[in-house]
A = this chain, B = another copy of it.
Amino acid sequence: MLISMKNISELMVDLAYSALIFNNKEIAEEVKYLEEKIDENYYLLQEEAVKKAIEDGNASAAVVLIRLATSIEAISDAAVQIADVVLRDIEPHPVLKESIKESDITITRGRVSEDSVLAGKTLGELNLASETGMWIIAIKRGHAWIFGPTENTKILADDILLAKGPIEGVQHFLRLCSGKDKKI
Contacts and interface: CB of A to CB of B under 8 A. Distances in A.
A30 interface: no
Copies of this chain in its oligomeric complex? 2
A81 interface: yes
Nearest to A92: B64
If over half of A's interface residues share one DSSP class (helix, strand or loop), that class is named, otherwise mixed; here it is helix
A24 B93 CA distance: 40
A169 B129 contact: yes
B81 A70 contact: yes
Given A64-B92, A90-B63, A169-B130, A75 B3 contact: no
A166 interface: yes
A168 B129 contact: yes
A103 B7 contact: yes
Interface stretch (A94-102, A110-118, A139-147): A94-102
Contacts of A134: 130
Interface residues of A, number: 49
B71 A3 contact: no
A35 interface: no
A61 interface: yes
B74 A81 contact: yes
Nearest to A127: B168
A74 B78 contact: yes
B105 A82 contact: no
A135 interface: yes
A166 B168 CA distance: 17
